[in-house]
Amino acid sequence: MAKKRRGKSEEEIEIVHAPIQDQPITETLEKNYMPYVMSVIISRAIPEIDGLKPSHRKLLYTMYKMGLLTGPRTKSANIVGQTMKLNPHGDQAIYETMVRLTQGNETLLHPLVDSKGSFGKHYSTEMKYAASRYTEAKLAQICAEFFKDIDYNAVDMVDNYDGTLQEPTLLPTTFPNILVMPNTGIAVGMASNICSFNLGEVCDGTIALLRNPKTTTEQIMEIIKAPDLSGGGTVIYNRAGMERIYENGTGSFKIRARYRYDKSQNCIDIIEIPESTTIEPIMKKLDELAKAGKLREVSDFRDEIDLSGFKLTLDLKKGVDPDKLMLKLFKLTPLEDSFKCNFNILVGSVPMQLGVVGILNEWIRFRLECLKRKLIFELGKKKDRLHLLLGLGAILLDIDKAIRIIRRTEKEADVVPNLMTGFSIDKIQADYIAEIKLRNLNREYILNRIADIEGLQKEIAELEATIADELKQKAYIIKELQEVKKKYGKPRLSQIMAEEDIEVYREEEFIDDYKVRLAITKEGYFKKITFQSLRGNDEITANKDGDELLQVFDATNTAEILLFGSMCNLYRFKVSDFDCSKASALGDFMPAKLGMESGEKPIYMMLLDGFSEKKHMVFVFENGKGVRVPLSCYETKTPRKKLVKAFSDASPIVGAFFESDITEMMIVGSDKKAIVIKPSLLPEKTTRTSGGSTVISLKGGHKVVSVMKKPDDDVIGGVKGLNKIKLPATGAALPDAVTEKLGL
């Protein structure tokens, strides 16, 4: 870096360059980049085995220490301010974290924050939450399961960022919150997207694994049937895809909106939408479809979200089938969407991608460790209590002696040592006895205290037995899970529908079918005209100077069309893709509509009626060669809109048509010589790009200039030698009168 030396004039400024030190890229990554990566992964974006990110955990623990588990609600601003003692990332970030956990936002199946006020909605980006000074909150009752063992040394406690407070590294949840609470996070080099499952099903699945660690994925899938999302909707169940999620933690499943039809109002009320979308993109897509004329079944649609919940209403036109319309909307709008699963979690600060069964097994290990630490803590407390009571029992033998020792001791510091000597007890017991008030130094009080000795000894024995026996610990966890399910379990919100039971959307069922007349010009202008608009006037012409009609034929609105272009491309489209026009209109410009290549023009258009090997396309080229290609050569696995190299580019194309559309064709050269043949004479080739064989013999650099249907006899009746039955053939000369009639 260049630096200026101080104290010198502008003319005397000396530029000092700091030395540039080379550093291997591997060292840069290791020392600079990797610590940042690990910080984002571990301390911010990826949830741990308790189902919480650090921001969640710091917020909930702060609320717990504020007494908000049992106390009344307090202002959200107060909570945010207190949380900053553990989370210094800023008040807005903390408040946004809390908003997502509230019952008002409706993001979670089991909200962790009992809220009052406006907290927005997860299904709308425009419904914003109120400022923290206006809202109130406390912990929801289910959070009691997060903090039940927090004061029993069940998890490690660490210093906060400035060493003034302590916070837990994890919360000792009594149920697998990691699968009940949805979580999304983007770290560096990895991301996490965990969907929610039903609490009752998760508890049952965990109990099954506790009872039999060899429980298979298939068995767990029978218990935890499918994801259960807070937005409800219908999960489209694909067994193979769901099994992949349960085993590996990756994959996706489809979820679609739920609706009800109001017959009296002739409207559809959409009451639940997929978790992965919001009402705004749905409304935007509906608006786009309406403007494009693809939503003619709907007269109006509007957002009717109110205090009762989500509702998007579609007013239907008379005679519309609501179920068929919804099939169409599921296909064309985000009313059906995919939820992509990526179950990345932290286990002991190590990122792991686990399936449902793997996560449950890791949670069981975590919960066993928490429970064991809690039991050891309780055992220590009870042993300490027993130790004190045994010392108290020692003075029961001679209370008067204890009083004499205390009364005759001259110095206060000698009271405890004298009691230790007089009753053969240790310092802790002597301290406890010395602190007893004089009024409590009576037989009744002491008997009442030491009556607990037998019960404590029994409890200590039970705790020691439980600590030594993992099966007893698992039984304890099973009992906890059963209580959690009974207390907090809810019926499924998301319905399940097998993929094979889903009705398939067929676009043709939604297209009005009626007869139309199609016309295309040599310049590429296309018209779709209804018979009603013709009104007896069957004459259709090109409406641009210098242009002329290429083809005119009748079809239906549901028909499919193949269009061959001059640059060896084939285009496939549906008649319904185009709007109807008047005969006098210019029409749609096909090169722009179909995305044709620059300068490319249509040469032939035909109705598609299957790809039979017995049907052929006929191509005649400028060099005098021709070929027949089976229509089956143009069949593709998917209905591609464009197929390149549809025919040979060895010589410019002059004529192309469907073999059955013409019985005899006339080929004319630039020397004004012509032949008339049946298309079946042309050689058949099974390769689209075949150049074919010579059809008409050309000399002196002449070329084919026209290929047409054989004209009527009154046009060429006087010309002899036109009809040929063998190829290649020499053309017969056309009189000037004939070529003039033919426009050549």
The CATH number of residue 289's host domain is: 3.30.1360.40
Helices assigned H by DSSP within 253-355: 279-291, 322-332
Residues 394 and 452 in one domain: yes
Residues 535 and 603 in one domain: yes
Tell me, what DSSP letter sits at residue 231?
A: T
How confident is the model over 121-148, as pLDDT tens digits? 999 999 999 999 999 999 999 999 999 9
Residue 36, pLDDT > 80, answer: no
Greater pLDDT, 41 or 111: 111
Which residue in 603, 597, 605 sits closest to 560, CA to CA?
A: 605
Residue type, 218: E
Look at residue 546 and tell me if it is in a domain: yes
- Out of 33, 36, 134, 514, pick the active-site residue: 134
- pLDDT band at residue 661 under the 50/70/90 scheme: confident
CA–CA separation, 270 vs 260, rounded Å?
A: 7
Bridge partner list, 642:
571
Average of per-residue pLDDT across 694-711: 89
- pLDDT band at residue 13 under the 50/70/90 scheme: low
Query: Which helix (H) or strand (E) segment is 729 a member of?
Result: strand 729-730
Residues 514 and 464 in one domain: no
The CATH number that applies at residue 464 is: 1.10.268.10
| pLDDT at position 186 | 83
Which residue in 648, 651, 512 sits closest to 576, CA to CA?
A: 512
Strands (E), 178-232: 183-186, 191-194
Residues 72 and 129 in one domain: yes
Provide the number of structural domains found in the chain. Answer: 4
Look at residue 637 and tell me if it is in a domain: yes
Helices assigned H by DSSP within 469-526: 470-488
The CATH number that applies at residue 595 is: 2.120.10.90
How confident is the model over 501-517, as pLDDT tens digits? 888 777 666 677 788 88
Residues 644 and 725 in one domain: yes
Residues 473 and 379 in one domain: yes
pLDDT > 90: what percent of the chain? 55
Task: Supply the Cα-derived Rg of the chain in whole angstroms.
Answer: 42
Helices assigned H by DSSP within 72-125: 76-83, 91-101
Residue 2, pLDDT > 50, answer: no
| pLDDT at position 531 | 82
Give the distance, in angstroms, between the CA of residue 535 and the centroid of all CA atoms in the same chain.
52
- Least confident segment among 70-84, 223-237, 307-321, 393-407: 393-407
| pLDDT at position 3 | 46
Look at residue 218 and tell me if it is in a domain: no
Greater pLDDT, 292 or 93: 93
Token pair recorded at residue 269: 């009320």
SS3 275: coil
Residues 636 and 734 in one domain: yes
SS3 252: strand
SS3 714: helix
| pLDDT at position 538 | 64
| pLDDT at position 39 | 67
Residue 727, pLDDT > 80, answer: yes
How confident is the model over 599-621, as pLDDT tens digits? 899 999 988 887 777 888 899 99
Residues 589 and 666 in one domain: yes
Ramachandran category for residue 349: left, alpha or beta (phi over 0 → left; psi -120 to 50 → alpha): left
Residue type, 76: S
Look at residue 278 and tell me if it is in a domain: yes
| pLDDT at position 131 | 95
First to last CA, the chain: 79
Residue 30, pLDDT > 90, answer: no
Token pair 């035909």: residue? 606
Which residue in 135, 136, 229 sits closest to 181, CA to CA?
A: 229
Greater pLDDT, 158 or 537: 158
Greater pLDDT, 260 or 6: 260
Residues 420 and 551 in one domain: no
Look at residue 458 and tell me if it is in a domain: yes
Which residue in 428, 396, 408 sits closest to 418, CA to CA?
A: 408
Mean pLDDT taken over the chain: 89
Average of per-residue pLDDT across 465-475: 95
356-396 vs 443-450: helix crossing angle, rounded to 10: 150
The last residue of one of the domains, among 172, 205, 224, is 172
The CATH number that applies at residue 167 is: 3.90.199.10
Residues 557 and 656 in one domain: yes
Average of per-residue pLDDT across 282-290: 94
Look at residue 234 and tell me if it is in a domain: no
| pLDDT at position 450 | 82
Residues of the domain holding 539? 510-742
The last residue of one of the domains, among 278, 307, 334, is 334
Average of per-residue pLDDT across 36-53: 79
134 is catalytic: yes
The last residue of one of the domains, among 439, 456, 488, is 488
Most confident region among 170-174, 427-431, 590-594, 658-662 by mean pLDDT? 170-174
Residues 374 and 425 in one domain: yes
Look at residue 219 and tell me if it is in a domain: no
Residues 408 and 266 in one domain: no
Residue type, 315: D
Residue 5, pLDDT > 50, answer: no
Residue 379, pLDDT > 90, answer: yes
Q: Dump the DSSP string for 3-50.
A: EEPTT--GGG--EEEPPP----HHHHIIIIIHHHHHHHIIIIIS-BTT
Q: pTM, whole model, 2 decimals?
A: 0.74
CA–CA separation, 542 vs 519, rounded Å?
A: 9
Look at residue 196 and tell me if it is in a domain: no
